[in-house]
Amino acid sequence: MGRLETADKQSVHIVENEIQASIDQIFSRLERLEILSSKEPPNKRQNARLRVDQLKYDVQHLQTALRNFQHRRHAREQQERQREELLSRTFTTNVSQARGEGRPALDR
């Protein structure tokens, strides 16, 4: 996750995909661990399941952190697009709009 915070705009998607792939791999391995924990002897089974559940909980927090980062990045990119759009827009005065100036030729 630290690499994600310091990645430049071009590589942020690659880092996000790598993190998501790692999280998916961990989830699949946790499913296997869950199956193996059910095969433990009864006196060790509850402790094994508890440890697997704790790992699942931790990985879900990582998943949530990644989604929050992506959401913030998308919001920031949208704000930048809107800012650029506003800066490139040409504005006219109300008087010139009332006279029909500043409107495209098709509207006249």
What are the pLDDT digits (tens) for 73-106?
999 999 999 999 999 988 777 776 666 655 555 5
50 in a domain, yes or no?
yes
What count of Cα atoms within 13 Å lies in the side-chain half-sphere of residue 68? 8
What distances in angstroms separate CA 35 from CA 3, 25, 45, 47, one per listed residue? 33, 16, 11, 14
3 in a domain, yes or no?
no
Question: For residue 33, is pLDDT > 60?
Answer: yes
102 in a domain, yes or no?
no
63 in a domain, yes or no?
yes
Question: For residue 38, is pLDDT > 60?
Answer: yes
* Helix (H) or strand (E) segment spanning residue 47: helix 42-88
77 in a domain, yes or no?
yes
7 in a domain, yes or no?
no
Number of domains in the chain: 1
| pTM for the model | 0.72
End-to-end, the C-alpha distance of the chain in Å comes to: 56
Residues in the chain: 108
pLDDT at 108: 45
93 in a domain, yes or no?
no
